[in-house]
Amino acid sequence: MEDRLRRQEDRWQLAMAANNDGLWDWDCVTGEVFHSARWKEMIGFGPDEPVDWEARIHPEDAERIHTSIQRYIARQSPQYREEYRLRAKDGEYRWILARGIAQWDESGKPLRMVGSHSDITLRKQAEEALRLQTEALARAKEAAEAAALSKSTFLATMSHEIRTPLNGIIGMTGILGDTELSPEQADFLQTIRTSGEALLSIINDILDFSRVESGRMELESEDFDLWAFLEESVSLVAASAHAKGIELTAPIDPETPRFVRGDAARIRQVLLNLTGNAIKFTSKGEVVVRVLPAGTDSMLRFEVSDTGIGIPESARVRIFEPFTQEDSSTTRRFGGTGLGLAISRQLVSLMGGEMGVESMPGRGSRFWFTIRVETGHKPAEQTEPAFELAGRRVLVVDDNSTNRKLLEQLLHGIGMEVTSAEDGIAGLRILLESVKQQGFDLVLLDFQMPLMDGIMLTKSIRAQQQFAKLPIVMLSSIADHEHAAEAADLGVYATLLKPLRRGALLAAVSGAMCAGSRPREAGGEKNTAGAQPSRGHILLAEDNPVNQKVCGLMLGKAGYTFEVAANGREAIQALDRGRFDLLLLDCQMPEMDGFAAARANRTRSGPDARMPIVALTANVMSGERERCLDAGMDDYLAKPIRPEVLGKMLEKWVPIKTAP
């Protein structure tokens, strides 16, 4: 028996030695324990040195190990396999993986338990290092997230703080520009305005950049007409190209899909950034913008090519990094923040595409980007006439025959009956003669005409009693506020800037006829606009005195009367006192802010509770629009407020009054 056991043990020893494990053998009846030489060596003892195993278990592990063994020999657990720390002779702990099996007699009493020890200290150390690293990473990630969050909150606040005074600056320059100024003053004013606009665009860039970085940029999805989109986008920067004598073209490829679905505003932002750069870095030649289907998967490829200074190979990767420009001297020469391309590339990748550049220094560059779009439907045409135009009679007065033909074509195209005259005298004669027959519903006249210009012609028309209300729309090739204002005083519905765009023309024509056929009523209203009846009475709730002034002046100029409230509470009180057509409501105000005021108004009784409310806000972070709508407001204007945008917004929400 002894012999057999010894032989068995020898075999075990051999097997264990082979995989470098130590062996232990516990006689459960006598309580004797045998430890192999390797077992002892593992914790720094010689083969003949006695070792008190139990005393060497790490205090934190001891109970767990005892319980585990007890449970196993009591057959409450299927196996004994534990990792724990054992104190070596030198006092250091080693990590041990212990495994063992037991033998029981028929009555279930344990007789013997035999097992192995493997040294797993190195593995444990590696695991621990990994755990610490993961923890550190998680902490760093948390810190970074917190920092990003506070950064974007900081940016939102900063943007608000900077936008508010900028609103004053840009708004005031616009208003000052309409007053009489010497050429030198006008030039100074222009500089202030351009600087203000530049500052605004930097703020917008920084905000965009942080929004994309913090993952808060949300894409919209709408159907749009890609052909018109391209035409419109290019027309926005056409003036700056022409001012430098650069040809700017955007030929439409017949293969380019017409109606697509995507975030038109973001695509435009990228396209305008590239086109703007192309114009900026080109002094002669041309800039060409193209859109093509990019092979598979409803991908579009946009290309902006220029014949400008080009970009050296070494800089072609770098320029897409934030705040980087090809070399710092270009900054001084051309200005810019070096953020444009970084934002553009981020936007493009959000839209499922890529961006790149090919370039030959001195010859030019071609920037390209791809984006994924869905096939779209024809969007509901907003510029189609809201007023039935077919069959209406229009008189066109223009000395330029090409222009006359163009107008005739456009107006015929929508079913109007067109008569043309080549100068003011002929036009007036036709108009007077027409009275005997059907008469005209509308006059479309050019401002620049020899002998009798558009203003003179309008005066002559208005001089006739029967034409006092005849709808008139004027066309002009120069943006001249003075003439436009004079025309407006004479009751010209709109002065359109050439080159004419179909949508703008139709909107003006139908708007003019709509307004002309339903005369506005001025009954019982405060009227600051002299002889002109007010287009509507507005309540302006805004705490900042500069903005009160800017916005007020804009309202007055656009033909509206208004009252000012300095916070939400005052606004509600004003609403209780009087009747308004619309409430312009600043979101950030002391005492009662815009959101609270909007909610308070909706809970009031009476028809006023449904009056249109347009939010004014300097906070352009995503979600602001939703916050406004949630609070019961109808629309939203971002500061700085521009007269054109404010005007459009008011036209949208203030109903044209019908005679009782």
Note the residues at the interface with ligand ADP (CB under 6 A).
Answer: 273, 277-278, 281, 306, 308-309, 311, 319, 325-326, 330, 336-342, 365
Is-cis flag, bond preceding 640, omega within 30?
yes
Taking the complex as a whole, the smallest distance from the CB of residue 640 to ligand ADP amounts, in Å, to 21
Nearer to ligand ADP by Cβ, of 298 and 337: the residue is 337
Nearer to ligand ADP by Cβ, of 338 and 353: the residue is 338
Nearer to ligand ADP by Cβ, of 357 and 565: the residue is 357
**Pairing, β 110-119 against β 22-27:** antiparallel
- Cα separation of 582 and 580, whole Å? 6
| Tokens coding 460 | 């002559």
Taking the complex as a whole, the smallest distance from the CB of residue 374 to ligand ADP amounts, in Å, to 28
Nearer to ligand ADP by Cβ, of 258 and 318: the residue is 318
Nearer to ligand ADP by Cβ, of 279 and 474: the residue is 279
Nearer to ligand ADP by Cβ, of 347 and 452: the residue is 347
Distances in whole angstroms, Cα of residue 189 to Cα of each of 181, 239, 480: 9, 19, 16
| Phi then psi dihedrals of residue 390, to 5 deg | -60, 135
Nearer to ligand ADP by Cβ, of 164 and 365: the residue is 365
The label of the residue with tokens 């506005």 reads 520
Nearer to ligand ADP by Cβ, of 343 and 611: the residue is 343
Q: What's 396-439 look like in SS3?
A: EECCCHHHHHHHHHHHHHCCCEEEEECCHHHHHHHHHHHCCCCC
Distances in whole angstroms, Cα of residue 4 to Cα of each of 7, 112, 253: 5, 15, 94
Nearer to ligand ADP by Cβ, of 338 and 427: the residue is 338
Taking the complex as a whole, the smallest distance from the CB of residue 651 to ligand ADP amounts, in Å, to 35
Taking the complex as a whole, the smallest distance from the CB of residue 268 to ligand ADP amounts, in Å, to 15
Taking the complex as a whole, the smallest distance from the CB of residue 338 to ligand ADP amounts, in Å, to 4
Nearer to ligand ADP by Cβ, of 4 and 332: the residue is 332
Taking the complex as a whole, the smallest distance from the CB of residue 390 to ligand ADP amounts, in Å, to 47
Distances in whole angstroms, Cα of residue 235 to Cα of each of 20, 276, 499, 595, 635: 80, 12, 10, 37, 27
**Pairing, β 110-119 against β 93-104:** antiparallel
Taking the complex as a whole, the smallest distance from the CB of residue 605 to ligand ADP amounts, in Å, to 53
Taking the complex as a whole, the smallest distance from the CB of residue 262 to ligand ADP amounts, in Å, to 22
Other residues' Cβ atoms within 10 Å of the Cβ of residue 219: 13
Taking the complex as a whole, the smallest distance from the CB of residue 327 to ligand ADP amounts, in Å, to 7
The label of the residue with tokens 């929400």 reads 653
Nearer to ligand ADP by Cβ, of 347 and 575: the residue is 347
Distances in whole angstroms, Cα of residue 657 to Cα of each of 494, 506, 540, 552: 18, 22, 20, 22
Instruction: Say whether 34 sits in a helix, a strand or coil.
Output: strand
Q: Which amino acid appears at position 563 of this protein?
A: E
**Pairing, β 286-293 against β 299-306:** antiparallel
Distances in whole angstroms, Cα of residue 140 to Cα of each of 128, 130, 588: 18, 15, 35
Q: Which of 498, 62, 434 is nearest to 238 (CA)?
A: 498
**Pairing, β 537-541 against β 582-586:** parallel
**CA 108, 113, 114 angle in degrees (round to 5)?**
150
- Cα separation of 113 and 363, whole Å? 86
| Tokens coding 2 | 């002894």
Task: Return all residues near 609 (Cβ < 8 A) that are at least 6 apart.
Answer: 601, 602, 603
Nearer to ligand ADP by Cβ, of 85 and 211: the residue is 211
Taking the complex as a whole, the smallest distance from the CB of residue 285 to ligand ADP amounts, in Å, to 12
